[in-house]
Structure 1
Amino acid sequence: MSEARHPLPARIFVAVAAAVALLLLGAALGLLIRLPSFDRAEPQPSAVDIGFAQDMTTHHQQAVTMATLARERAADVAVRQLAFDIETNQRDQIGRMQGWLSLWGQPAQSSGPPMQWMTDEGGHAHGSGPAATQPGALMPGMATSAELSRLQSLRGPEFDVYFLQLMLRHHEGGSAMADYGSRHAALPAVRELAKNMLGSQSTESTLMRTMLTERGAQPLP
C-alpha cells in the first residue's frame, strides 16, 4: 500500500517543477525581449536630443512657475483648472527630460546660446522663430522679469486675462522647438514627446484664445 501512495505526491512535485520551469523560461524570454539587440547599434542621443531636453526644460520651468501662481490666485475656476493641467503636464515632461539628460551624462541645462541645436552646420536657424544668439537670452514666448512681476501684482479678473495672454504666447513661442524636435531628434522617445507637446499645447492654445475672447481680451503681440 505504501507504494500506491507515492505516485500522487510525485505527480504533484513534477507538475510544480514544470510550472516553475515555465515561469523561469517566460521571465528569461521577457528579459531577452527587453535587452537591446547586439546585432545592431542602438541610436545615441544627438545634439538635437540633448539641446531639446535642456532648452525645453528651461522653457517649461517658466510655464510651471506661472501656472502654479495661477492655480493659487486665479479668480475663475476654469483658469485654475487650466493652470493645474499645465503645471501637472509640464512638471511630468520636465522630469522625463531631466531623467534622459542624467542617463546621457549631460548637464541639466545648456551653458551655450539657447536653441543653438536648431541650426545647421552653416549656422542657419530652423523653425518658425529665430534661435536665440546669446547665452541667457530669452527663448521665444518666454515672459520677461517685468512681465512676471506684473503678473504677481495682479488680482481677480485682471490676473486671469494677463495669465492667459502670457501663457498663450509662451505655448506658441515654444512650438518651433517642439516641431523641430519631433522631426529631427535621433531617439524615438524624444521625437514622440515633442510630438505630444505640440498636440497638447495646440489644444490648450485654442482654449486660451477662446477664454480671452470670452473676456473681451486679445492675445499679446
Structure 2
Amino acid sequence: MTAGVRAPRSLVAAGVVVFLVAAGLVLLMVVRPSEASPSGAGAPAPAESSADVGFARDMSVHHQQAVEMSFVVRDRTADESVRRLAYDIINTQANQRGMMLGWLESWGRPKSSERPPMEWMGHSVTAKDGSLMPGMATDTEMAGLRAAKGVDAEVLFLRLMTVHHRAGADMARAAQAEAGTDLVRNLAAGMVWGQESEISLMTGMLKDRGARP
C-alpha cells in the first residue's frame, strides 16, 4: 500500500475518539472538580505504600513515554489520521500526568521512588524485554521509531502504542480496584475507557495499512 492511500473510516473514527476523550476530561475536571483536585477533599493524604501514590507515580512515567512517542511520530508522517491521534494522546496524557504529579505534590509524596515499579499492585511486575514497565517501549524500539518515516513510522507507532495502551489499561484497572480515593479510581476508570477506545481505533488503522497489531 502506498503512503498516499488512506481509508476515510480511520479519519472519522479518529475524530470521534478525540471528541469523546476530550468530553471525558471536561466531565472529570468540570462536573466533578472536587475529584480533579485533592485540595477540596479534606481527607488524609494516601500513604506512601498505597495504590493511590504508586499508581500516580508509575502511570506518570508510563504516560510520559506515550507523549514522547506521539511527538516523534508527529514529525515522521504527514498522515492526518495518525497526527490527529498523536495530538490527542499528547493532550490527554500530558493533562492526566499533570494531574497525577499535582496530587503527589499535594500529598507530600515524592514524584519518583526507588521502589520497584508497580509494587503497589501487590507484587512487583517487571518487564522481560528491558523496558521499565510492561507495555513501555525499549530504547531500541524508540530508536527504530525515530529512524522510521511515512507508513513505516505509522505502523511502528500504532503497534508500539497498542501494546503501551494495553498495559496502561491493565494498570488502571488495578487502580480502580485497589485505590482508596475516589479521584484516583475515577481517573483510572476514564483511562481504561479512553485507552481501550484508542486500541480499537488503532487496530482499524493498522488494518487500513495492511499491517497486523
Q: Name the TM-score, length of structure 1 as normaliser.
A: 0.73
Aligned pair in 2 of structure 1 residues 217, 137: CA closer, same or farther (>3 Å)?
closer
| Matched position secondary structure for 1:73 | coil
- Point out where structure 2 has 5 or more consecutive residues left out of the alignment: 1-38
Taking the TM superposition and a 5 Å limit, the aligned residue runs for 1:107-126 are 107-119=110-122, 125=123
**Is the 1:75–1:156 Cα contact (8 Å) retained in structure 2?**
yes
C-alpha distance in structure 2 between counterparts of 1:103 and 1:114, whole Å: 21
Residue 9 (structure 1) aligns with = none
Residue 62 (structure 2) aligns with = 59
Aligned pair in 2 of structure 1 residues 100, 216: CA closer, same or farther (>3 Å)?
same
Q: CA deviation at 1:132?
A: 2.1
Task: Answer yes or no: is 1:164 the counterpart of 2:165.
Answer: no
Residue 10 (structure 2) aligns with = none
Highest RCO, 1 vs 2 (Cα 8 Å, sep ≥ 6) = 2
AA paired with 1:132?
T
Percent pairwise identity: 45
Q: CA deviation at 1:35?
A: 6.8
Aligned pair in 2 of structure 1 residues 85, 175: CA closer, same or farther (>3 Å)?
same
C-alpha distance in structure 2 between counterparts of 1:146 and 1:137, whole Å: 10
Q: Name the TM-score, length of structure 2 as normaliser.
A: 0.76
Aligned residues: 172
- Point out where structure 1 has 5 or more consecutive residues left out of the alignment: 1-33, 120-124
C-alpha distance in structure 1 between counterparts of 2:125 and 2:56, whole Å: 15
Q: Deviations over 1:87-110 (max 9, x none)?
A: 000000000000000001111122
Task: Answer yes or no: is 1:76 the counterpart of 2:79.
Answer: yes
C-alpha distance in structure 1 between counterparts of 2:62 and 2:199, whole Å: 16
* Greater C-alpha radius of gyration: 1
